[in-house]
Chain A
Amino acid sequence: QVQLVESGGGVVQPGGSLRLSCAASGFTFSSYGMHWVRQAPGKGLEWVAFIRYDGTNKYYADSVKGRFTISRDNSQNTLYLQVNSLRPEDTAVYYCAKDNILRGNYPNAFDIWGQGTMVTVSS
């Protein structure tokens, strides 16, 4: 079945870095754009980043621009998020999500979500 499984979260000090991964299965990964969305504890959803199906276009939320980098390896069906210069306000569950449009050029709705990986930024 269609599945997304995130990993790589953990506890990190302010200013630190992590690399989050999202393993995809059950669909043609290379044909869909992918997103990262986060949710701080007890708060709402915040879109973080999008990467086009072929990796050529990337878009970021202003809150993470210049600190986070989204990438993908279509040969390994894996999505990544490199998170640098972490701040306490980056503490959240990070979800990867599949775009619902085949070979879409821009962000659309998110039709499949992973279970999330927790990132805690604390000294």
Chain B
Amino acid sequence: DIQMTQSPPTLSASVGDRVTITCRASQSISSWLAWYQQKPGKAPKLLIYKASSLKSGVPSRFSGSGSGTEFTLTISSLQPDDFATYYCQQYDSYSPTFGQGTKVEIK
């Protein structure tokens, strides 16, 4: 299986901060990467697919970049609704895998 490693595991930030989360794949996955946001007790929500395509309805402060083995999710100006856990997911293989998650906390 392709292993996905996210960093950092936890991130403390303030409203208005620019936040960047990194996801690394154990082998090249081209651009077959998605990002999800999950709040406690809720199902995940798709934010970004194909590394940089923003899902319809997702605020433009979210952006994704990268290809191959290194990817980033950036929140340009953190809002109160953005405090959550974020997961990357590869779908280059028949067996999709997730990163372990990055929790964005209030500083």
Contact = CB atoms under 8 A, between A and B. Distances in A.
Interface residues of B, number: 24
B64 to A, nearest CB: 11
B43 A62 contact: no
Counting contact residues on chain A (CB < 8 A from B), the size range is: 20 to 34
Given A44-B87, A45-B87, A116-B43, A111 B95 contact: no
Contacts, number: 60
Given A47-B97, A62-B1, A107 B43 contact: no
Contacts of B95: 47, 59, 61-62, 107
Contact of A108 (B87, B91, B101): B91
Interface in B73-99: 87, 89, 91, 94-99
Contact of A46 (B42, B94, B98): B98
B49 interface: yes
B91 A44 contact: no
B55 interface: yes
Contact of A109 (B38, B49, B94, B101): B49
Interface of A: 35, 44-47, 50, 59, 61-62, 95, 100, 106-111, 113-116
Given A106-B94, A109-B34, A113-B44, 7 more contacts: A47-B96, A59-B95, A95-B43, A107-B91, A107-B96, A109-B49, A110-B46
